[in-house]
């Protein structure tokens, strides 16, 4: 614990991880107390077949975004803070939308298969209710990681890393549709939100603003 404390004191930017305390509390409160008033659906949703095999990509979301944050936290402080702002702003905006306009889905179908992957999907559906889905945080946060990887200057000549990242980003985003976790509307709006905050992150001077707040310790 002493070594960990000393490392955090030497690397105060790592405290950005505390954001997930807020995120989990907000998300769980939505799950517990918010009842959908808008049900999301588009005719395209009915044309997308359910396929339990996409659970593999869906679950890769966790190592994808956590691994990316860990990598940049250790390797590049500035890039880490950029990714944190980009990702956290995107996720927070999605939560805000879901709070202001509570929404849900009615797309899930009965899973007759008893395969290993199908059983994992059943567990997922039991713990993750089809509410608070639009815009899709799964999609939005995946796009933030993918775009960050593509623009990261130190990956300029590392095509393999970029290809793997984009492949995972696309697979994770599509998995939300094939597992009936999200509507095409959630999918598209998740991308739109991520693109909006991409512009905010890389075309505005947000760092100067945050450096004048209590968050300035993250930057020095």
Segment 14-73, tens digit of pLDDT: 889 999 999 999 999 998 888 999 999 999 999 999 999 999 999 999 999 999 999 999
What distance in Å separates the CA atoms of residue 162 and residue 78, rounded to the nearest whole number?
19
Tokens of 91: 């996720």
Query: Which parts of the chain fold into alpha helices (H)?
Result: 2-10, 19-33, 43-47, 55-75, 77-100, 116-127, 137-151, 159-178, 184-203, 206-210
Task: Give the residue extent of every domain in the chain.
Answer: 56-100+133-220
Asked whether the predicted pLDDT for residue 218 surpasses 60, the reply is no
What distance in Å separates the CA atoms of residue 90 and residue 73, rounded to the nearest whole number?
19
Q: Residues with Cβ < 8 Å from 60, sequence gap 6 or more?
A: 168, 171, 172
The tally of CA atoms less than 13 A away on the side-chain side of residue 203 is 6
Query: Considering the chain, what percentage of its residues have pLDDT values greater than 70?
Result: 94
Q: Which residue in 136, 138, 135, 140 sits closest to 90, CA to CA?
A: 140
In this prediction the pTM is 0.91
Tokens of 113: 């298969």
């Amino acid at each position: 614990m002493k070594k960990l404390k000393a490392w955090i004191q030497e690397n105060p930017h790592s405290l950005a991880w505390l954001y997930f305390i807020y995120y989990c509390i907000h998300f769980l409160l939505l799950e517990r107390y918010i009842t959908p008033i808008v049900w999301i659906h588009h005719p395209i949703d009915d044309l997308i077949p359910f396929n339990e095999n996409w659970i593999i990509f869906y679950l890769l979301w966790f190592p994808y975004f956590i691994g990316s944050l860990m990598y940049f936290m250790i390797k590049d402080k500035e890039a880490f803070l950029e990714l944190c702002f980009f990702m956290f702003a995107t996720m927070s905006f999605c939560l805000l939308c879901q709070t202001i306009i509570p929404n849900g889905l009615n797309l899930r179908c009965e899973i007759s298969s008893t395969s290993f992957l199908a059983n994992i999907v059943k567990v997922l559906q039991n713990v993750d209710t089809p509410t608070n889905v639009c815009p899709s945080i799964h999609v939005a946060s995946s796009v933030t990681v993918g775009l960050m990887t593509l623009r990261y200057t130190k990956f300029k000549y590392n095509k393999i890393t970029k290809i793997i990242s984009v492949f995972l980003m696309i697979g994770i985003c599509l998995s939300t549709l094939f597992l009936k976790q999200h509507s095409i509307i959630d999918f598209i709006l998740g991308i739109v939100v991520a693109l909006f905050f991409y512009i905010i992150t890389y075309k505005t001077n947000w760092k100067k603003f945050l450096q004048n707040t209590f968050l300035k310790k993250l930057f020095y």
